[in-house]
Amino acid sequence: MEEATDRLLTTIRGFAEPLLADMGMELVEIQFRREGHGWVLRLFIDKEGGVAIDDCVAVSREISAYLEVEDLIDHAYHLEVSSPGLERPLKKRDDFIRFAGKLARIKLREAAAGQRVLVGTLQGMEGDSVVLTLDGETVRVDMENISKARLTL
């Protein structure tokens, strides 16, 4: 089932990313999972200056039409389109550059500087490393060592 879900998400991402780019937005994350009230297909979108409800409605309309025509999901599900919020995930190299100067929480696969969770100010990228300032010290973390990263308050 997980392999089929991965293929579905890849197909939807292939449609959604260029659509959102044309609309001046980006796809931050896409999820398809079973929850208490059934299956949910959730898209998190963002744009410079933040996402408005009208943006979510427009994207929802386009994605709904695409899914209806392509008939990719053969069972009932709910489609949700929303902003990733103030603590948005950081997934791509560009995210770490774009949000330089912001506070981030990064979970590591292997400990660095004696820690598995780092909370510091993003400074951007140097090669394949994310650069953070932690308590006045500069720390570099290889992108491959990051299991999860997000902005934090």
Mean pLDDT rounded to a whole number for the chain: 92
In the chain, what percentage of residues exceed pLDDT 70? 99
- 9-45 residue pLDDT tens: 999 999 999 999 999 999 999 999 999 889 999 999 9
- Cα–Cα distance measured from residue 10 to residue 30, given in angstroms and rounded to the nearest whole number: 9
Query: CA 41 → CA 5, 31, 44, 76, 93, distances in Å?
Result: 11, 6, 10, 10, 25
Helix, strand or coil, per DSSP, at residue 78: strand
Q: What is the pTM of this model?
A: 0.79
Which CATH fold would you assign to the domain 2-82? GMP Synthetase; Chain A, domain 3 (3.30.300)
Domain regions of the chain by residue span: 2-82, 93-151
CATH 1.10.645.10 matches 93-151: no
Q: What angle separates helix 53-70 from helix 2-22, to the nearest 10 degrees?
A: 130
DSSP string of 30-52, one letter each residue: EEEEEETTEEEEEEEEE-TT---
Closest CA to 106 of 139, 150, 54: 150
- 133-152 residue pLDDT tens: 998 899 999 999 999 999 99
- Cα–Cα distance measured from residue 100 to residue 111, given in angstroms and rounded to the nearest whole number: 23
- 91-107 residue pLDDT tens: 889 999 999 999 999 99
